[in-house]
Chains A and B, each alone.
Chain A
């Protein structure tokens, strides 16, 4: 099955600086890569996603890049703000012909924005 590795587990950056979180996946058939933000004790919120036919996607301060050959994808947050502090999860999924498989998640990155 799919295996998703996420690094780093904890990331501390100064407010205004950029943050980068990296994930690798094992199953070359995976074709959908979402990123979720989770604040303490709350459900996960989809913040951005990318599909395998695209190499990069950007939404304001957030961008995601995908390298299919190397099987890794990254989340980039620019001009970080205190409200960006949370745990971020990457995930990978493949869409099988008969239905949809569940997401396989990375172990999460605790992003801390220092004032």
Chain B
């Protein structure tokens, strides 16, 4: 079964509002989680690395004030898309690093965000 759970799987929000996506590691502690976005027919693009208890590390070109990441516990990281615009509509996927199994990374199921 899934070891990383992502919620919600689908969300529709109005332009200008904020939406939060949760990523949970279900049966292991993850000090490091990653957030990706994927546009249709394109590859996964890393947005940021989320570290428990410290600030996230953002990839070049990703606005940290727009995509707020909070990794407050060893099993939960959240991505908040603030002041959402239609161009933020995308498929967002998180992953978590499982250290005790040779640093294997497991992905969540993904979240479809549609901004109208």
Interface residues of A (CB under 8 A from B): 32, 34, 36, 41-46, 49, 51, 89, 93, 95, 99-108
CA distance A102 to B34 in the complex (A): 7
User: Which residues of chain B are within 8 angstroms of A102 by Cβ–Cβ distance?
Assistant: 34, 36, 46, 49, 59
The answer to whether B42 and A45 have CB atoms under 8 Å apart is: no
Interface size, chain B (Cβ < 8 Å): 27
Please report B residues at the A interface, Cβ cutoff 8 Å: 6, 31-32, 34, 36, 42-46, 49, 51, 59, 91, 93, 95, 97, 102-110, 112
Q: For the complex, what is the distance from the CA of A81 to the CA of B62, rounded to whole Å?
A: 39
* Complex-state Cα separation, A102 to B44, whole angstroms: 11
Q: In the complex, A34→B51 CA distance in Å?
A: 21
B107 contacts which chain A residues (CB < 8 A)? 36, 43-46
Would you call the interface of chain A mostly helix, strand, loop, or mixed?
loop
- Partner among B44, B59, B102 whose Cβ is within 8 Å of the Cβ of A44: B44
